[in-house]
Amino acid sequence: MKLRLTFILFLFISNLFAQIDPSLLKRIPKDTVKQLLNMDAMYNRPSLNINKTPIAIGGYLETNWQKLTTDGISEGHQFQARRLSVFMSSAISKRIKFLSEIEYEEGGKEIAIEFASVDVEFHPLVNFRAGIIINPIGAFNQNHDGPKWEFTDRPISATQMLPGTFSNSGAGLFGKKYSGNWMFGYEAYFSGSFDNSIIDNTEGKTFLPSAKENPERFEEINSGEPLFTGKIAVRNSKIGEIGLSHMGGIYNKFNDDGITIDVPRRVNVYAIDFNTTLPKIKTFITGEWAWINVEVPETYTQQFGNKQHGGFLDIVQPVLKRKMLDWENASLNIACRLEYVDWNVGRFKETNGNIGEHLWSIMPAISFRPTSQTVIRLNYRLQKQTDIFGNPPSITDGYNLGISTYF
């Protein structure tokens, strides 16, 4: 199925461009309007428009080199084809839009339709969206494109605690309102949900990202009950944006052909995110923090935690922004990411000692942007991770060098 999807997409794009005069292709820059919310990230991308047609095509590439050491042991030099994303959009009519994104990870090892939805606009505050949607929990899940970030790795909390780029079949409403320097937005969807894999997986712990490995979530809901995801966000053009989001529902199969086989068990995720740019010095700050509560069966051991929390904070400081090496608007930045994740918040019942299973990381970075759409980044990571028993932490450190660009 994956090969067939890739082949069809390749033929479509090849035939499309083979029949089009190159002079009709027009580059559409990403939206430069300052009054944007994080929820606009899926549409705020550069793309190539075919003149006199409603179709636009774009994408981005992400590739890295890394050398990491954990407790003195290294796998040596590694080159990684992290991901290639291709997105297509179409203005079906003035108030009906379509957008899709297909992502190829690890050189094509994983291929997924990450986003494919139709938007119908009724009013700025009331719009309908249906299809494969990105669940708007936190900020990173929607705003995840590699060229937008100064770091080669995605945040640990957004990929190893929360299910990164988590999407499901679903439908719902969204809208925005402007008032002077203020902007308000919301999203509310019902969609496919989690399943028992979040507590029955190879990780041996409560692990929400395991739900992404179930392709059947696009066709059926394990519990028969939809997942609700909602978010509200407020932005002030002089202060920044803050978002509050919630994702929750029943994850286990508790009813089979009308027969009750288990008690319903819920998973609830709460998140807060914030971003701002400091005036004058132009320091960009963004971060998010999430809390997870999972109703774990009492028969499970304490290695399956019912509470988790974690998040990240990015600080990016422009150093130079001028013509460099014949690039007119190049920029040089320094940055730092701080991260923390606790997969099992609480204490052992027997000893009252703290349960381990937590991690912290610091990642300083230097990035060079020859254009706003391309970033070359050098990162150093220092990470300490403690096991469930609180033994001395394993230490990981090393360097990453990568490039990510829209095309």
**Local confidence band at 378 (pLDDT 50, 70, 90 cut-offs):** very high
Q: Note the pLDDT tens digit of each residue in 191-214.
A: 999 999 999 999 999 999 999 999
**Does 21 have pLDDT greater than 70?**
no
How many other C-beta atoms lie within 10 A of the C-beta of residue 179?
7
Instruction: Please answer whether residues 384 and 395 qualify as being in contact, where contact means their C-beta atoms are separated by less than 8 angstroms.
Output: yes
Give yes or no for a contact between 348 and 322, defined as CB atoms under 8 angstroms apart. no
Confidence of residue 270 (pLDDT cuts 50, 70, 90): very high
Length of the chain: 407
Q: Per-residue pLDDT tens for 384-403?
A: 999 999 999 999 999 999 99
With tokens 């938007």, the residue in question is 119
Q: What is the mean pLDDT of residues 91-116?
A: 92
Tokens of 397: 């450190």
Q: Is a pLDDT exceeding 80 seen at residue 185?
A: yes
Judged against a pLDDT cut of 70, whether residue 29 lies above it is answered with: no
* 2-406: in CATH 2.40.160.10: yes
Q: State if pTM tops 0.75.
A: yes
Q: How many helices (H) and strands (E) does the chain have?
A: 2, 21
Is it the case that residue 63 has pLDDT exceeding 70? yes
Q: What is the mean pLDDT of residues 322-329?
A: 95
- Encode 123-154: b = buried (16+ Cβ within 10 Å), e = exposed: eeeebebebbbbbbbbbbbbbbbbbbbbbbbb
* pLDDT tens sequence across 68-97: 999 999 999 999 999 999 999 999 999 999
pLDDT on residue 24: 42
20 pLDDT exceeds 50? no
Closest CA to 48 of 24, 26, 20, 31: 26
Q: What is the mean pLDDT of the chain?
A: 91
Q: Between 292 and 54, whose confidence is greater?
A: 292
Closest to 66 in 3D by CA, of 377, 393, 405: 377
Q: Is residue 114 very low, low, confident or very high in pLDDT (cuts 50, 70, 90)?
A: very high
DSSP classification of residue 393: P
Is 58's pLDDT higher than 70?
yes
Decide if pLDDT at 168 tops 50. yes
